[in-house]
Amino acid sequence: MAEAAASAEGGSGGGGGGGGEASLKDKGNEFFKAGNYLKAAALYTQAIKLDPSNPTLYSNRAAAFLHLVKLSKALADAETTISLKPQWEKGYFRKGCILESMEKYDEALAAFQTASQYNPQSSEVSKKIKRLSQLARDRKRAQEVENMRSNVDMAKHLDTMRSELSEKYESEECWKEMFSFLVEIMETSVKSWHETSKVDARVHFLLDMEKTQTDKYAPIVNIDKAFESPHMHGDCFSFLRKYAEDSFSRAACLVAPKSIISYPQVWKGQGSRKWKHGQHDGFFVQFESPSLRKLWFIPSSIEKGRTLCRDPEVLDIGAHELLPRLFKEMLPNS
């Protein structure tokens, strides 16, 4: 629950009541200050019966109801306060505090802004406006983060890749199949990272369904040990290159999280190999085909308590490759 109004009002705030209501109000204020909000509310109610047009009494009872989390009653009293004394900022302040407790933040902010118009010098109103304005910005950004997490669209980042594939391969069906293959793997990996903050180190193969012995060659090969040492890396590369050839694969896509890579640590280099993408966690995607090779790093960060993949960063595959060329190089349009 949001912080309740600090105190009950001591002044009369208008109205023509006599000593009876004043005495009841003062007693109510004493109980309010002591934290006995139920007794305070009861005394304010008695005072209102004696002086039903006194806005201070409704304002004070609204504050007591707010502390008692009787929010509907509190809001009704705040509205009555405003109707009785429209230019008194306290009514709008009470209303704002109650709406804030109801988590109706936009309406609460509007109420505090109205209060500020009638009393621009009020520090408590200014603090509320500042807090809720920041909260509104945070909520907006949190929603943007959720939208980015749930609406993963990698194709929009790969226009250059699409163009290069269409130039390298004459067959539209061929390059479109490769492009869809890459996009699907990237998007699946990003969604996995969003859900679990990890991806499995794997090589995905685009098999030739007319030539591949599918009972012998699977479309995915796990390579979680490939980056433990130069020896393991070399053995894995030799295996994958033969696998690509024997399975008649048309393309391959490697996905590997940065955190598991002991060798080669492609982000530790100088000159052309100098890493320009900070200390972000994330994962690599390396695309392999006979005519085109590409490498991306997809950085990750925590924003608003949620894991969020950033836009893929294109890397120089000649400087940062995770694996050497898997396919024998072919000339364009072959």
Mean pLDDT score of the chain, rounded to an integer?
A: 92
Cα–Cα dist 328/245, whole Å = 9
* pLDDT, tens digit (0-9, with 9 covering 90-100), for 180-228: 999 999 999 999 999 999 999 999 999 998 999 999 999 999 999 999 9
Intervals of the chain under pLDDT 50: 1-6, 12-17, 333-334
What separation, in Å, do the N-terminal and C-terminal C-alpha atoms of the chain show? 68
Report the predicted TM-score, pTM, of the whole model to 2 decimal places.
0.72
170 burial level (CB within 10 Å; 0-12, 13-18, 19+) = exposed
Domains of the chain: 19-148 (1.25.40.10), 153-320 (no CATH)
**What is the pLDDT, as a whole number, of residue 182?**
98
pLDDT in tens, 291-305: 999 999 999 999 989
pLDDT of res. 274 = 85
pLDDT (0 to 100) of residue 17: 46
The pLDDT value recorded for residue 13 is: 45
The number of beta carbons lying within 10 Å of the beta carbon of residue 174 is 16
Q: Which of 206, 268, 211, 201 is nearest to 236 (CA)?
A: 201
Measured distance CA(310)–CA(111) in Å, rounded: 38
